[in-house]
């Protein structure tokens, strides 16, 4: 679709109230745990207290004897013979021969009340034989580490690798050795990041119902109802079309709700309880012990730089554990690590490693923050050593449209240079710094995913429009899609209602992930609106007795296209819609595709910190996010994404961590000790929306949701060095770690 | 579980004395109810003290100190101008507990009797020389707050004993107190180290002092060596260094998810210095 960069839009770029706002502030919005049904049972899950143990026996008799208990399930109630990701999901849903991490589900019960179900869960006797375990990625990759699973390695892993390496990759271009030889300074560094949890405010919750006939329904808090359907059907051996999945409102997901955890258990319990619906609501500690964190990483980076800051070559070797299953985002981490830099010589090596930790799930720009921590930290160190301005070095080496990306393909339209220039011009960079204060900058990158997308639009009899989308609204996408639809149809924003619908209502949709909802569902909604416009023009043409091609759509009405088409007054959408019954029936539009034309997004962050020299405590004084949005449909939600990404990144950088004891048990499965930032920890986060429109989207949208979590990790490390001279190369940079680094730096 | 609502402390003590299984008193419930929900504690008898007349009152004692009821929530302490003016350190310790919602329920007595070595209001009470009035099967006695903690999750109260009030001594002239805790965040966290300092000046010189440390030993305790380090000084740099060293020497913390031995020990010294300076300023008339 043609697009004029300088066109003024009527609605796109404005900030109306969000359509779900009143429901959310009044408590009327229905989240996962708010859904109940007549005859409902409550489910509770028995979880392994061991990091790694053989399940010797499970005695359910005491639980079954308890009054009010209607069903107990173990792995024996699941089909056998699954392979690949279906098997992994089934094994993660319910342990088979072995419990693979602290919190791994081993049995589940359904009873007439929540307390009854919890009591029954305590009466299930599981006998374990504890096995040696491994938690840390560098320990897990050792040749003599406890083996998590024999034969889990795929074909990419060469002979002779340590037993917990399950995927291996190497890629790059040019000749890195030659590139390093051209450099004036070659440095390398070793960096580690901890696993962190997505930390969504709403714990997982679902209500599942499954009859003996294999027909089922589920109401669930998820980022993707079709993923829930496909995965539950796979794990339970059901026909996907027999399962109808309705998403609730969602209190955050950040990638962690693109997969299944206890959802199949509610269905299995329901089937065993004669088809009664079964509700399961996780506690926060179940969320932290058993649902998807991201991976932890151990990384080596080597970079060559000339005296003027030109990068000559770079090499990264990353090792990541994503729990007891394959799937850590080491590939994505490597793709993004050097993405902001034009490099003729670059090499990447990656290892996906198993450990006795929960199966990792996607978390906002999966992998990219870890890679950025290593690369952006080392570049900052090298800038310091050569006395170069880190902003200038980033600009000097910035990739532009047409450049070959570090991970292979050529970049289409991108806005990194514009982002860096906007950063350099921001007043925060001119703020004076006091004692113990420092400033750090870092860049970040993330893709924009397309994915299967199906959207329907229907014109109502009064000329208002209803849009059915399949991507749950986590960050304000209903508002953005309503704005784009209303803009296209030429009607008020308030005249469009966007509904997130169940799996029975549309073709398959991928979840809201990969920063795709506003791009993909938005593009499909615009194309569906275009279809409806074509149909409305046809109806007007028929009434006027002219050719449909002689009718154009302007400001929400059909009108003759030019004087030769005939002289008729414009026919409004309300007028056309009011007589749809007589003119050919319902008027709607539909679009489904894997939309082409994704637009990746670069960002640059600048943070000012103050470090307490006596306690190592880091205070964020100022924080700036500058990022390319392509075009901000609803700027307030774009800013919200920028601020939210930064807030999560600050938590990851400073305090969040999984703390295990020597038995591999998680010590901090509550928000009291799993320390996400609280509101008073953060200053107002400043944002600048750069707009380099994406030519692949009718309104220029890029995916903006994920890039923002990538720069904070290194930006804060760089700022701490600026403030104190101490360089931290491992996360979290919590007060004990910072204080130790300060002492080491003072001693040196 | 049996839920009781006695209307006097004598009844509460009798109920507790007769109970067979696990007993908990219910003040604000911000520890007990959370522990019950988490499945950590399943009491057989839950004795709610909030129906006893006077438990929500803060009153002047005849000696000129304060009597604080066992159900007075943190928010009420902070809103009490006269109490806050006399014992800012005690009040700020309680004010650090939890959030606005928690402040509407949580009490000093509950904080003390929950037995956490990291309880935020207890160092301030200990440094202030506060006492508790205890009602038991044998009648009423008083004891220093410092004698109540008996290890993590434990108190020295006997079966059937219930605290019926917290008593603060008269403030007197030229006194000041302060409490500081270290947490990695700005709120909603448990003290990694806590330190309260209470002192009285004679001119510019510290005439009396009490220093109490939290979260660096199994119980919150007074550190007389730390007090001695500043008594007779004007809190000059040498005195502060001596205080820092004495505070560190008194630490016997553990390594856990909230902090390491080395870190806790070092920060105890830092907080002692900083709290002493604030208390000193307050004794001189600072109102911050
Ligand atoms: C979100 C949250 C944040 C928190 N933050 C902090 C914090 O920052 N700092 C901190 O120190 N604490 C914190 N706490 C813990 C708790 O709020 C405090 O310990 C609070 O002061 C407890 O008071 P309460 O009245 O709620 O006690 P309750 O829960 O009612 O009782 C606690 C214990 O005291 C016993 N008890 C109560 N009254 C008496 C009595 N009269 N005689 C004998 N025994 C009695 C009970 O049996 C029980 O064992 C937090 C708790 C929550 C939930």
H, E, C per residue of A655-708:
CCCCCECCCCCECCCCCCCCCCCCHHHCCCCEEEEECCCCCCCCCCCCCCCCHH
In a domain, A141, yes or no: no
Task: Write down the pLDDT at residue B286.
Answer: 85
Task: Write down the pLDDT at residue A565.
Answer: 87
Are B22 and B143 in a shared domain?
yes
Q: Name the residue of B37, B105, B113, B132 whose CB sits within 8 Å of the most ligand 1 atoms, as the mutation to test its pocket.
A: B113
In chain B, which residues have pLDDT < 50?
none
Are A270 and A128 in a shared domain?
yes
In a domain, A295, yes or no: no
CA of B26 to the centre of ligand 1 (A): 9
Atom of ligand 1 nearest to the CA of B120: 11
Are B92 and B145 in a shared domain?
yes
Mapping DSSP to helix (H, G, I), strand (E, B) and coil, where does residue A332 land? helix
The phi and psi torsions of A573 (rounded to 5 degrees) equal: -60, -35
Task: Write down the pLDDT at residue B256.
Answer: 87
In a domain, B124, yes or no: no
Q: What is the pLDDT of residues A294-315, one digit of tens each?
A: 999 999 999 999 999 999 999 9
Q: Is B160 in the pocket of ligand 1 (CB under 6 A)?
A: no
- By the CB < 8 Å criterion, does A748 face chain B? no
Atom of ligand 1 nearest to the CA of B108: 21
- Check residue A9 and report its DSSP letter: P
In a domain, A254, yes or no: yes
CA of B28 to the centre of ligand 1 (A): 7
Q: What is the pLDDT of residues A277-297, one digit of tens each?
A: 999 999 999 999 999 999 999
Q: Give contacts of B 179-208 with A, CB under 8 A.
A: 182, 184-190, 192
In a domain, A149, yes or no: no
> How many CB atoms lie under 10 A from the CB of residue B106?
26
In a domain, B61, yes or no: yes
Which of B114, B116, B118, B185 is most worth mutating to test chain A (most A CB atoms within 10 A of its CB)?
B185
Which of A49, A121, A739, A742 is most worth mutating to test chain B (most B CB atoms within 10 A of its CB)?
A739
Nearest to B136 by CA among B115, B157, B166, B108: B157
In a domain, B148, yes or no: yes
Are B197 and B272 in a shared domain?
yes
In a domain, A712, yes or no: yes
Q: What is the pLDDT of residues A214-264, one digit of tens each?
A: 999 999 999 999 999 999 999 999 999 999 999 999 999 999 999 999 999
In a domain, B122, yes or no: no
Are B204 and B260 in a shared domain?
yes
CA distances from B242 to A695, B168, B234, B281 (A): 68, 29, 13, 19
Nearest to B59 by CA among B145, B143, B165, B158: B165
Task: Write down the pLDDT at residue A4.
Answer: 47
- Check residue B145 and report its DSSP letter: G
Nearest to A288 by CA among A711, A683, A668, A644: A668
> Which among B182, B186, B266 is the nearest to A678, CB-wise?
B186
Are A609 and A708 in a shared domain?
yes
Task: Write down the pLDDT at residue A7.
Answer: 66
Are B55 and B26 in a shared domain?
yes
Task: Quote the CA–CA distance of A656 and A679 in Å, as a whole number.
Answer: 15
Instruction: Give the CATH number, domain containing residue B203.
Output: 3.30.390.50
Q: Please enumerate in sequence order all residues whose Cβ is within 8 A of that of A215, keeping only pairs 6 or more positions apart, or say none.
A: A242, A243
Task: Quote the CA–CA distance of A50 and A48 in Å, as a whole number.
Answer: 5
CA of B110 to the centre of ligand 1 (A): 4
Alpha helices in chain B (DSSP H): 9-18, 32-37, 74-78, 81-86, 88-95, 100-103, 108-113, 122-128, 224-230, 237-249, 261-283
From chain B, the residues in CB contact with A668 under 8 A are: 257
Are A704 and A658 in a shared domain?
yes
Q: What is the pLDDT of residues A627-660, one digit of tens each?
A: 999 999 999 999 999 999 999 999 999 999 999 9
CA of B115 to the centre of ligand 1 (A): 9
Token pair for residue A578? 């009011």
Are B185 and B160 in a shared domain?
no
Cβ–Cβ under 8 Å, residues A265 and A73? yes
Are B24 and B52 in a shared domain?
yes
Prior bond of A732 cis (ω within 30°): yes
Nearest to A142 by CA among A375, A321, A326: A321
Which of B194, B257, B258 is most worth mutating to test chain A (most A CB atoms within 10 A of its CB)?
B257
In a domain, A14, yes or no: no
Confidence of residue A1 (pLDDT cuts 50, 70, 90): very low
CA distances from A588 to A498, A536, B150 (A): 14, 9, 73
Which residues span the domain enclosing A225?
A: 33-132+199-290
Are A611 and A713 in a shared domain?
yes
Task: Write down the pLDDT at residue A638.
Answer: 98
Residue position matching structure tokens 């002779």: A160
CA of B109 to the centre of ligand 1 (A): 7
CA of B105 to the centre of ligand 1 (A): 9
**Beta pairing, strands A465-469 & A216-220:** unpaired
Are A387 and A492 in a shared domain?
no
Instruction: Give the CATH number, domain containing residue A274.
Output: 3.90.1170.50
Instruction: Give the CATH number, domain containing residue A603.
Output: 3.30.365.10
Last residue within a domain, chosen from A265, A290, A315: A290
In a domain, B36, yes or no: yes
In a domain, B230, yes or no: yes
A678–B182 C-beta distance less than 8 A: no
Task: Write down the pLDDT at residue A278.
Answer: 98
From chain B, the residues in CB contact with A49 under 8 A are: none
Could you write out the three-class secondary structure of A115-180?
A: HHHHHHHHCCEEEEEECCCCCCHHHHCCCCCCCCCCCCCCCCCCCCCCCCEEEEEEEEECCHHHHH
Which residues span the domain enclosing B163?
A: 2-116+131-168
Are A78 and A217 in a shared domain?
yes
Last residue within a domain, chosen from A540, A561, A593: A593
The phi and psi torsions of A441 (rounded to 5 degrees) equal: -125, 155
Are A487 and A563 in a shared domain?
yes
Q: What is the pLDDT of residues A400-430, one digit of tens each?
A: 999 999 999 999 999 999 999 999 999 999 9
In a domain, B288, yes or no: no
Instruction: Give the CATH number, domain containing residue B78.
Output: 3.30.465.10
B259–A736 C-beta distance less than 8 A: yes
CA of B30 to the centre of ligand 1 (A): 5
Task: Write down the pLDDT at residue B287.
Answer: 79
Which of A122, A203, A615, A734 is most worth mutating to test chain B (most B CB atoms within 10 A of its CB)?
A615
Q: What is the pLDDT of residues A339-392, one digit of tens each?
A: 999 999 999 999 999 999 999 999 999 999 999 999 999 999 999 999 999 999
- Check residue A293 and report its DSSP letter: B
Last residue within a domain, chosen from A274, A290, A306: A290
Residue position matching structure tokens 């028995």: A46
Confidence of residue A2 (pLDDT cuts 50, 70, 90): very low
Residue position matching structure tokens 């990419």: A156
In a domain, A529, yes or no: yes
> How many CB atoms lie under 10 A from the CB of residue A543?
16
CA of B34 to the centre of ligand 1 (A): 10
Are A252 and A104 in a shared domain?
yes
A736–B189 C-beta distance less than 8 A: no
pLDDT of residue A3 exceeding 70: no
Task: Write down the pLDDT at residue A747.
Answer: 86
Task: Quote the CA–CA distance of A671 and A654 in Å, as a whole number.
Answer: 15
Q: Which residue of B has its CA nearest to A680?
A: B186
Are B159 and B28 in a shared domain?
yes
pLDDT of residue A192 exceeding 60: yes
Assembly ipTM: 0.94
Are A438 and A458 in a shared domain?
no
Are B195 and B155 in a shared domain?
no
Nearest to A125 by CA among A76, A43, A56, A78: A56
Task: Write down the pLDDT at residue B38.
Answer: 83
Q: How many domains does chain B have?
A: 2
In a domain, B126, yes or no: no
Which residue has the least CA distance to atom 5 on ligand 1? Answer: B98
Are B198 and B135 in a shared domain?
no
Q: What is the pLDDT of residues A75-84, one digit of tens each?
A: 999 999 999 9
> Which among A118, A285, A675 is the nearest to B189, CB-wise?
A675
Task: Quote the CA–CA distance of A227 and A603 in Å, as a whole number.
Answer: 30
DSSP of A518-569: IIIIHHHHHHHHHHHHHHHHHHHHHHHTS-GGGEEEETTEEEESSGGG----
CA distances from B114 to B35, B110, B119, B128, B155 (A): 11, 6, 8, 20, 8
Q: Which residue of A has its CA nearest to B262?
A: A736
Are B93 and B147 in a shared domain?
yes
Q: Which residue of B has its CA nearest to A677?
A: B185
Q: What is the pLDDT of residues A689-743, one digit of tens each?
A: 999 999 999 999 999 999 999 999 999 999 999 999 999 999 999 999 999 999 9
Q: Is B192 in the pocket of ligand 1 (CB under 6 A)?
A: no
User: E-strand spans in B63-204?
Assistant: 66-68, 131-136, 139-144, 162-168, 175-182, 193-202
Are A400 and A472 in a shared domain?
no
For chain A, the average pLDDT equals: 97
From chain B, the residues in CB contact with A675 under 8 A are: 184-185, 189
Tell me how many residue pairs between chain A and chain B have CB atoms under 8 A apart: 49
Q: Is B13 in the pocket of ligand 1 (CB under 6 A)?
A: no
The alpha carbon of residue A677 is apart from the nearest alpha carbon of chain B, in Å, by 7
- By the CB < 8 Å criterion, does A155 face chain B? no
Atom of ligand 1 nearest to the CA of B183: 8
Q: How many domains does chain A have?
A: 3
Q: Give contacts of A 607-636 with B, CB under 8 A.
A: 614-617
Are A474 and A441 in a shared domain?
no
- By the CB < 8 Å criterion, does A655 face chain B? yes
Are B229 and B86 in a shared domain?
no
In a domain, A727, yes or no: yes
User: E-strand spans in A235-283?
Assistant: 243-247, 278-281
A615–B267 C-beta distance less than 8 A: yes
Are A587 and A626 in a shared domain?
no
From chain B, the residues in CB contact with A655 under 8 A are: 184-185
Atom of ligand 1 nearest to the CA of B121: 11
CA of B133 to the centre of ligand 1 (A): 18
A654–B186 C-beta distance less than 8 A: no
Q: Give contacts of B 204-263 with A, CB under 8 A.
A: 256-260, 262-263
A673–B263 C-beta distance less than 8 A: no
Cα B257 to the center of its chain, rounded Å: 23
From chain A, the residues in CB contact with B266 under 8 A are: 739
The alpha carbon of residue B189 is apart from the nearest alpha carbon of chain A, in Å, by 6
């Amino acid at each position: 679709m043609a697009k004029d960069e300088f066109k003024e839009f009527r609605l796109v770029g404005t900030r109306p109230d969000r359509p779900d706002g009143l429901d959310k502030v009044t408590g009327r919005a229905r989240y996962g745990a708010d859904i109940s049904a007549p005859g409902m049972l409550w489910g509770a899950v028995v979880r392994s207290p061991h990091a790694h143990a053989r399940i010797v026996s499970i005695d359910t008799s005491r639980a079954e004897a308890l009054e009010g208990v209607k069903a107990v399930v173990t792995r024996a109630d699941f089909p056998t013979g699954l392979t690949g990701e279906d098997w992994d999901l089934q094994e993660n849903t319910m342990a088979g021969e072995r419990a693979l991490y602290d919190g791994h589900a081993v049995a589940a019960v359904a009873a007439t009340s929540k307390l009854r179900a919890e009591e029954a869960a305590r009466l299930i006797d599981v006998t374990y034989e504890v096995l040696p375990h491994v938690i840390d990625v560098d320990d897990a990759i050792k040749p003599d580490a406890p083996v998590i699973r024999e034969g889990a390695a795929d074909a990419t892993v060469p002979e002779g690798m340590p037993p917990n390496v399950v995927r291996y990759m190497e890629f790059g271009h040019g000749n890195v050795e030659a590139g390093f030889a051209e450099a004036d300074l070659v440095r390398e560094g070793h960096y580690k990041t901890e696993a962190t949890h997505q930390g969504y405010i709403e714990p997982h919750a679902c209500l599942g119902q499954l009859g003996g006939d294999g027909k089922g329904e589920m109401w669930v808090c998820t980022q993707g109802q079709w993923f829930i359907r496909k995965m539950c059907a796979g794990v339970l051996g059901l026909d996907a079309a027999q399962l109808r999945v309705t998403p609730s409102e969602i209190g955050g997901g950040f990638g962690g709700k693109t997969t299944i955890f206890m959802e199949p258990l509610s269905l299995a319990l329901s089937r065993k309880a004669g088809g009664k619906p079964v509700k399961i609501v996780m506690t926060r500690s179940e969320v932290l012990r058993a649902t998807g964190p991201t991976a932890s990483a151990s990384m080596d980076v080597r970079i060559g730089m000339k005296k003027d800051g030109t990068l000559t070559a770079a090499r990264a070797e990353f090792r990541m554990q994503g729990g007891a299953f394959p799937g850590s985002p080491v590939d994505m981490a490597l793709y993004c690590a050097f993405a902001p830099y034009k490099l003729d010589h670059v090499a990447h090596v990656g290892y996906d490693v198993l450990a006795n930790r929960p199966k990792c799930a996607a978390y906002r720009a999966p992998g990219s923050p870890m890679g950025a921590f290593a690369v952006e930290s080392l570049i900052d160190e090298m800038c310091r050593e050569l006395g170069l301005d880190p902003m200038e070095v980033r600009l000097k080496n910035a990739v532009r449209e047409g450049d070959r990306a570090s991970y292979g393909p050529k970049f289409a339209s991108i806005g990194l240079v514009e982002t860096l220039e906007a950063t350099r011009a921001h007043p925060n960079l001119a703020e004076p710094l006091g004692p113990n204060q420092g400033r750090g900058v870092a860049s970040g990158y993330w893709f924009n995913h397309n994915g299967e997308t199906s959207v329907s639009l229907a014109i109502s009899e009064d000329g208002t429009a209803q849009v059915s989308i399949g991507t749950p609204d986590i960050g304000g996408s209903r508002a953005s899609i309503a704005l784009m639809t209303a803009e296209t149809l030429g009607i008020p924003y308030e005249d469009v209602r966007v509904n997130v619908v169940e799996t029975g209502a549309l073709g398959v949709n991928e979840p809201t992930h990969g920063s795709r909802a506003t791009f993909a569902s938005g593009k499909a909604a615009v194309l569906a609106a275009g279809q409806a416009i074509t149909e409305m023009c046809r109806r007007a043409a028929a009434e006027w007795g002219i050719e449909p091609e002689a009718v154009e759509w302007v400001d929400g009405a059909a009108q003759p296209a030019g004087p030769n088409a005939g002289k008729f007054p414009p026919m409004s959408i309300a007028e056309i819609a009011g007589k749809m019954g007589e003119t050919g029936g319902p008027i709607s539009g539909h679009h489904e595709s894997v939309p082409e034309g994704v637009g990746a997004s670069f960002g640059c962050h600048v943070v000012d910190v103050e470090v307490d020299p006596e306690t190592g405590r880091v205070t964020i004084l100022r924080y700036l996010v500058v990022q390319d949005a392509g075009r901000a449909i609803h700027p307030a939600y774009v800013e919200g994404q920028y601020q939210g990404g930064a807030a999560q990144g600050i938590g990851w950088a400073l305090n969040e961590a999984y703390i295990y004891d020597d038995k591999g048990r998680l010590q901090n499965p509550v928000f009291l000790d799993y320390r996400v930032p609280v509101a008073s920890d953060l200053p107002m986060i400043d944002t600048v929306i750069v707009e380099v429109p994406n030519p692949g989207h009718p309104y220029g949208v890029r995916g903006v949701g994920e890039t923002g979590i990538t720069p904070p990790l290194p930006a804060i490390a760089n700022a701490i060095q600026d403030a104190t001279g101490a360089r931290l190369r491992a996360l979290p940079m919590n007060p004990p770690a910072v204080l130790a680094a300060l002492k080491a730096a003072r001693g040196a | 579980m049996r839920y009781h609502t006695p209307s006097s402390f004598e009844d509460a003590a009798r109920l507790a004395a007769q109970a067979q299984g696990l007993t908990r008193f219910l003040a604000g419930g911000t520890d007990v109810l959370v522990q019950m929900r988490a499945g950590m504690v399943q009491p057989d008898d839950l004795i709610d003290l909030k129906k006893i007349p006077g438990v929500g009152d803060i009153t002047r004692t005849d000696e000129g100190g304060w009597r604080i009821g066992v159900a007075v929530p943190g928010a009420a302490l902070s809103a009490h101008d006269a109490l806050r003016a006399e014992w800012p350190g005690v009040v700020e310790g309680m004010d650090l507990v939890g959030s606005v919602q928690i402040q509407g329920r949580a009490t000093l007595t509950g904080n003390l009797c929950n037995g956490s070595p990291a309880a935020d209001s207890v160092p301030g009470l200990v440094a202030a020389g506060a006492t508790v009035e205890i009602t038991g099967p044998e009648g009423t006695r008083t004891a220093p707050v410092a004698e109540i903690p008996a290890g993590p999750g434990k108190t020295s109260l006997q079966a059937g004993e219930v605290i019926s009030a917290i008593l603060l001594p008269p403030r007197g002239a030229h006194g000041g107190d302060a409490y500081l805790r270290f947490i990695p965040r700005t709120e909603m966290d448990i003290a990694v180290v806590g330190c309260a300092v209470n002192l009285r000046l004679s001119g510019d010189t510290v005439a009396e002092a009490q220093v109490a440390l939290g979260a660096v030993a199994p119980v919150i305790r007074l550190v007389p060596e730390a007090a001695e380090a500043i008594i007779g000084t004007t809190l000059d740099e040498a005195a502060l260094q001596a205080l820092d060293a004495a505070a560190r020497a008194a630490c016997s913390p553990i390594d856990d998810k909230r902090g390491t031995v080395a870190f806790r020990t070092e920060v105890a010294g830092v907080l002692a210095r900083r709290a002493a300076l604030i208390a000193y300023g307050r004794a001189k008339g600072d109102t911050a």
